[in-house]
Amino acid sequence: MNASELEATARDLVAERKGILAADESSGTIQKRLASIGVESTEHSRRAWRQLLFTTPGIDEYISGVILFDETIRQHANDGRRLVDILTANGVLPGIKVDKGAKPLVGSSSEKVTEGLDGLRARLAEYCDLGARFTKWRAVIAIGPGLPSSHAIAVNADVLARYAALSQEAGLVPIVEPEVLMDGSHDIHRCLEVTSATLRRVFQSLAEQGVHLEGILLKPNMVLSGKDAPTREGPEAVAAATVRCFRRAVPAAVPGIVFLSGGQTDAEATENLDAINRLSADQPWELSFSYGRGLQATPLKVWGGDAANVPAAQAAFQERARLTSAARMGAYEPAMA
Ligand code: 13P
């Protein structure tokens, strides 16, 4: 591990105005996304969609890095260049999802633990050779009656830390993603409680396993009311709860917090990120984004699988990136949209 290189990469990923595009949907998830626009998921259609995103003119103005899926890091564009090389040539850092998905946790009827540690050291070495500069691992924590269990939080935190240590050993910046899901009718206070408990346990495991905090990024949920809550809090309350939670649980050594969009609408994901940044001029970390749906949902609809729509879809992606970048600086105005 070269600590100063890890630190420099982590800082580049949260450079001013910039954030991360998560384009690492697993085979099952991308199939659902493409089905939503009536397109069958094939090697060809997945490549066409991701090539459209990565070749968007001026992508590097707002996007610092892209998280890829295993298939994508090996794919070539129509002009024969590797997709990874196109990103790198455009000044965008390629990253890679290295977990193998959340699987049922033994002894629990509904909780999950993320798999993928077996053989990870060898896979990381290969991803390094393929040009990756950073990695991602997602753990999921569900809120519900009697959930989450402290056991599920502990198991996932230990696995996240093991992944982060191996990633740093390989010279790759780990994006540590403990996602507290927004599914359910719980209120924002319950989300605050569970997110705090999860983050505290994750940072305990990271410390125990010797992870270099200056060389990671944290990818968490925002602190939100549940999706089906009778009343859902607006951006100011979300920002207050989110910043309070992170000030209590996330060490100042961490260079950046890159939020996931997690199923929020485009408007919510933008307005909440903006409110968080408006509140947070003096926070110790950069507060940026690592959005999947929040950047892709609109351009995906505009594309609809039709090559004739590529320029319009790229314009829609640029627009989502521009607005999300403004929110990342706390400078978003609805009139910009
Ligand atoms: P969403 O922004 O769609 O939640 O995706 C981010 C991500 O990478 C989840 O792992």
Centre of ligand 1 to C-alpha 1, Å, is: 27
- Mean pLDDT over residues 179-193, rounded? 98
Q: Rounded mean pLDDT of the chain?
A: 97
115-150 as b/e: b if 16+ CB within 10 A: ebeeebeebbeebbeebbbbbbbbbbbbbeeebbee
Asked whether residue 244 carries a pLDDT value surpassing 80, the answer given is yes
Residue 313 and residue 320: Cα distance in Å, rounded? 11
Q: What is the pLDDT of residues 52-78, one digit of tens each?
A: 999 999 999 999 999 999 999 999 999
Distances (CA, A) of 227 to 124, 152, 196, 212, 328: 36, 22, 19, 35, 23
For a ligand 1 pocket test, name from 141, 261, 264, 288 the mutation site with the most ligand atoms within 8 angstroms of its C-beta: 261
d(CA 36, CA 40): 10
Q: Which of 25, 219, 268, 286 is the catalytic position?
A: 219
Stretch 318-337: mean pLDDT: 96
Q: Which residues of 241-264 are buried (b: 16+ CB within 10 A; e: fewer)?
A: bbbebbeebbeeebbbbbbbbbbb
Q: How far apart are CA 161 and CA 167, in angstroms?
A: 10
Residue with tokens 């200056």: 214
Q: What is the pLDDT of residues 91-114, one digit of tens each?
A: 999 999 999 999 999 988 899 999
Tens digit of pLDDT for each residue in 122-178? 999 999 999 999 999 999 999 999 999 999 999 999 999 999 999 999 999 999 999
CA-22 nearest atom, ligand 1: 8
Q: Name the band, by pLDDT with cuts 50, 70 and 90, for residue 302.
A: very high
State yes or no: pLDDT of 1 exceeds 80.
Answer: no
Residue at 99: amino acid letter:
D
Ligand 1 in reach of 289 Cβ (< 6 A): no
Q: What percent of the chain has pLDDT over 70?
A: 99
**pLDDT at 117 (0 to 100):** 98
pTM comes to 0.98
> Is it the case that residue 7 has pLDDT exceeding 70?
yes
Side chain identity at residue 66, one-letter code = V
Ligand 1 close to Cβ of residue 320 (< 6 A): no
Chain position carrying tokens 């409110």: 275
Cβ(187)–Cβ(229) under 8 Å? yes
Å from CA of 128 to ligand 1 middle: 23
Q: What is the pLDDT of residues 191-231, one digit of tens each?
A: 999 999 999 999 999 999 999 999 999 999 999 999 999 99
Given 18, 111, 136, 177, which residue is catalytic? 177
**95 CB under 6 A from ligand 1?**
no
φ, ψ (nearest 5 deg) of residue 69: -100, 160
- Ligand 1 in reach of 262 Cβ (< 6 A): yes
Residue 28: count of CB within 10 angstroms of its CB: 9
Mutate to test the pocket of ligand 1, among 72, 134, 290 (most ligand atoms within 8 A of CB): 290
**Residue 281: is its pLDDT beyond 80?**
no
Nearest protein Cα to ligand 1, atom 1: 292
Is 177 one of the annotated active-site residues of the chain? yes
| DSSP alpha helix (H) spans, the chain | 3-13, 27-35, 43-54, 70-73, 83-89, 120-129, 150-169, 188-208, 235-249, 266-279, 293-303, 310-328
**pLDDT tops 80 at residue 280:** no
Structure tokens at 311: 């320029």
Q: Calculate how far, in angstroms, residue 75's C-alpha sits from the geometric centre of ligand 1.
A: 21
Given the CA of residue 260, which atom of ligand 1 is nearest to it? Answer: 2
Query: Residues 268-298, buried b or exposed e (16+ Cβ, 10 A)?
Result: bbbbbbbbbbbbbeebebbbbbbbbbbbbbb
Which two structure tokens, joined as six digits, stand for 117?
């540690």
Catalytic residue check, 219: yes
3-state secondary structure of 279: helix
